[in-house]
Structure formats: structure tokens, C-alpha cells
Chain A
């Protein structure tokens, strides 16, 4: 046990010209606040973790592109003071692919939701993972279509009530991380919003990773899904994440199951594979003798 295993790095306020402490307001379009998310929505917690990771990685806001799809998660991009793109339902990864290919100098982050990414956009996810373009995909999984009023999603747990499963959901759901990994994503991780610092670090690892990184955020829809299923108040829902999660500090420990799917949290897979754009460019130059 040494200090380096401590994942948390908050910087002190600048005294000697060093970097400023993370102030989320520096990264927000303040005119738009308060944001439109419901009280207790986990997406806000996740967005904070993301911006914190961006801050600690010293990513210039001008060089940051956030591409989102449709749904509650899709609206998050608008709140960030960066180059932001709120695209069509399910397609942010495809937009991001074009953007990244056109502008490899930009840091391209996709914010998507479980419906956006796994249902209507499922095809784009698997091919983004296969292609391994240097994009970080943050998928907020709250098990429900919140924006449209709470319909069943590809990750809704069994027996949960939604507006389209009035008798309880009987469809099996996706393990999004296993899907991404199977499709070839070179970085896959999952974290809960409760473990904000671990989530921030996971996102940071994903952002640093050269290639396609997929981070699933276990987020809570408290107002719609929580109420419909009697999952308790916002704090109770956030706290309930703790019951089955053992945060990993060393990056290797096997974690405990979370939710019905027995899912693990932490970095689930990390591997080296040529990044798409650089490999494409290098190959073309080689063939053309440039």
C-alpha cells in the first residue's frame, strides 16, 4: 500500500503559477443553467466527472469536440463550453467518425445513452469498436428511455416496469461492455456515478487511450424509472449502487456484481491495436511511396 495507488488527484489552487484547481464552471455554458435534467439525475454527476477528467488531462476546450445523440444524454453536450454537436438519434458515433477522420487533431468524445447507443445506434457502436478510431464513447446507462417518458430500453433489468412494459420487462438486456469488447473495442470500462472519483479516473484512462475507448456509466433515472419501480429517493438510488460494487483502486481487482446482470466495474479490457486514422494514413503513404 503506497500513495501512488490513490487514484484521486485534486490539484491545489494555484500559488506558484501551477495549474488551477478544477472548477466545473470554467467548462460550462453558464447561460444555459440550471440544466434541464430532472432532480437527482445521474447524468449530471457523470458529466462532472467527464469535465474533471478533461481538466486534469489539460485538454484545450477549443480542441475538444463533444458529439452526442438524442435522448437525455444527448442534451449534455450543449452545456459544455467546447465544440459541441447534438446529432441525430443513434448516430453520434458515425458523426464522430467523420469528424475525427477530418480532424484527427481534435479530441472527440461521444456522449450517448443506452437507447441511443445500443438500440438505434447499435450498429455504429460495434463498427466504431471494430474500426478503432481514436474516439472516447461515454455511454450513460440508466436502463430507460427517459426523454420520451420512460419506455423499455436494451438495458432495462428484468421485471422492471416501464411505460411499455406495464407487466414487467421480460426481454433480456445487453451487457454493453461485453458487446463493445467483443466488437474489438481496445478500451472498455464501467463505473457507477456514486464512485465519482473512480469514474473520473476511468474516463481519464479512456481519454488517454489511443483508439476506441468505451466507458459505460451506470447512471440513475430517479424521476421516471426510479419512481415507476419504487427504487427510492435520489440519494437512495445513488447509494444503492454501493451495495454491489467494490471500487477498485489498483485497476486489477475483480469487482462485485452490480444490478441484475452481475456486471463488473472498473477497467474491463485494455489492449493495443493500431488506431484507425494513423494506420490508414501510414498505409496509404507506404503504398503510394510518399
Chain B
């Protein structure tokens, strides 16, 4: 994957809080990065507020951390469109939080490494095309005021430890923040395991160094499968009403609440546009009443409703 970058200015504002949103998936070190940033802010005598969601590591779920620092900080969370920096430790997660970036001035930093978490997609069907990740890195970089998209994981692997990708990104981050470089180097050892300190320091430097390199010429990307023509999924629910025993399991277990029992206490699809084709109803129906059919069809072939019901 190609790394792209765009020159950026320093983002730390003197007045008002600075907002940094750090996102990734479980196990990448989002929390470590945010702790370092918080510590640095404290060293400058600033107020810091941090809010995080984590603990999903085992499921590969999304992890994010809001860091706000400044002379006075009230709310711990960053409102949408207010982030000065969105730091993505994983490409898709980074993209997912893009709407939090401050229009016109925000800086987007993200590893181009893609880890597609199983349940984080809007489209729950396995092997489904991941709509949000179809854009090339170049396309994304063009959309934001300022962007750094190194292949941090690739660089980390070259350094001999994939896990220091976050430190590489930290190095990149350090070039857009106003904190003195020596402060970063002073804080870093407090938060990394002593055994890996040397590699982490190298990684930090590598991240800083990467920002000084000229942009690599653009080449065609091929990592993400993309539809030939505009395609989308057509979901249809096949409901064998005769078999339905009105147990209500599908109705209550549907995450989108798109099923209901009709006048005869037989299941029906009442909110076709809400159905994602996730199959929970099919899996949990003890009477094999519902079959979910998912087809990938050209956009023009999609019927008015996202999901159609086929009654048997």
C-alpha cells in the first residue's frame, strides 16, 4: 500500500481546548497513545480530559479515546466536527471517525493498515463488500485539510515488531503538535515495556523522519476489492408463514426491530429498509420459518425497499 501525505501546519491552538481523537481496534495500543498525550499535556501545565471506550480487545471491536487539553476543559468528549486531530491506528477505524474532524483545519493521521473487524461493519453479511473502505488512500487524503497516511504497520514490521506501529504514528503526531520533541522522548519510556524501549524509540524517530520525506509517486492500489459497477446487496426474507408458531423470538431478537407478528400472530417484515440481512432471525427461529437471501446485484436492479419479503 502506498503511503501518502500532505503538508500540514501545527494544530495546537493557544486558546480553547485542543481535541485529539485516537481510534483503532482492540489490542493496537490506542490507550497507550492517549495516555502519552495526556501526560505530555499535563507536563505543559494544561488541563486534560480523557474519555475512552475499551476492553473489547478479545472481540476485535473498535476502541476509541477522546483527549482534550487546554487551559480549561469542561467536557471530556469531543463533539462531532471538533477534532483537531483524528489519529487512526487502523485505516477503516480512522475513516469511520472522519466526520469528527474539524472542517477546514483538522489533521487526519492514520495507518493504512486495514483490519476489518467482524461486526463493526454496517453491512453484517460476511464477505460483504466493505462500503466505507472502498476509497483509496489518495481519495481520502484529498478530502481532508491535512493528512498523513503512512504504512505504519509495514514500517513497524521492518523494525522487527509489528506492535510499535502506534509509536510510529506517535512520531508522526509529534510533528504536528507543539510539544517539544524532548518531552515526547521523556514520556515515551514511562509507557512502553522496558524490553521494547529501544525499538519504540526507533519507531518514534521513524515516524518523525517519515514526515520529512518527499511524497512517493502515486501508484494504482489494489488491496481493497471494489465492485466493477455500482453494486449493492439485495436482501430478501423468505417467510414460511405456515411454520410460524408465534414464539416472538425473531421479533424481539432482530437488532433493527424490523419484524413483527401480524394479526394472525405470524411473523412479517414491517421495516424493510431497516433490515441489514444480518440473519439473526434466521439463526434463532426454532421453526425454520425465515430464510434470509442475500444477493449482490447491480445498483439499478435493487428494488425500492432495501429488503423485500417473500411470503410462502
Contact = CB atoms under 8 A, between A and B. Distances in A.
Q: In the complex they form, do A and B come into direct contact, defined as C-beta atoms under 8 angstroms apart?
A: yes
A196 B248 contact: no
B279 A39 contact: no
Interface in B262-312: 279, 283-288, 291, 293-296
B135 interface: no
Nearest to B60: A1
B209 interface: no
B125 interface: yes
Contacts of B251: 235
Contacts of A6: 60, 118, 126
A48 to B, nearest CB: 6
Nearest to A234: B247
Interface stretch (A28-36, A82-90, A204-212): A28-36
B58 A12 contact: no
Interface stretch (B8-16, B41-49, B238-246): B238-246
Interface in A129-163: none
Interface string A50-68: 0000000000000000000
Contacts of B286: 37, 39-45, 48
Given A10-B279, A34-B243, A249 B58 contact: yes
A267 to B, nearest CB: 16
Contacts of A233: 248, 252
A34 B116 contact: no
A48 B279 CA distance: 13
A10 B243 contact: no
Q: Is the contact region of chain A dominated by helix, strand, or loop, or is it mixed?
A: loop
Interface string A215-247: 000000010000000000111101100000000
B73 interface: no
Contacts of A197: 283
Contacts of B246: 39
B266 to A, nearest CB: 12
B295 A13 contact: yes
A38 B115 CA distance: 43
A3 interface: yes
Interface in A1-21: 1-3, 5-6, 8-10, 12-13
Interface residues of A, number: 42
Contacts of B248: 40, 233-235
B88 interface: no
A24 B26 contact: no
B181 interface: no
A181 B85 CA distance: 54
A253 B60 CA distance: 14
Nearest to B289: A34
B59 interface: yes
B288 A239 contact: no
Contacts of B26: 1
Interface in A69-111: none
A43 B270 CA distance: 27
Most A CB contacts (10 A, CB to CB) among B240, B251, B287 go to B287
A33 B279 contact: no
A1 B284 contact: no
B78 interface: no
B126 A44 contact: no
Contacts of B245: 34, 38-40
A176 interface: no
Interface in B249-265: 249, 251-253
A171 interface: no
B288 A10 contact: no
Contacts of A45: 283-286
A194 interface: yes
A25 interface: yes
A119 to B, nearest CB: 24
B27 interface: yes
B243 A33 contact: yes
B281 to A, nearest CB: 11
Contact of A24 (B57, B247, B291): B291
Given A8-B118, A9-B126, 17 more contacts: A1-B27, A1-B117, A6-B118, A6-B126, A34-B242, A34-B245, A39-B245, A40-B247, A40-B286, A45-B284, A48-B285, A49-B283, A194-B284, A196-B284, A235-B252, A249-B58, A249-B59
14 contacts: A10-B279, A12-B296, A13-B295, A25-B288, A34-B242, A34-B243, A37-B286, A39-B286, A42-B286, A194-B284, A196-B283, A235-B249, A238-B284, A253-B58
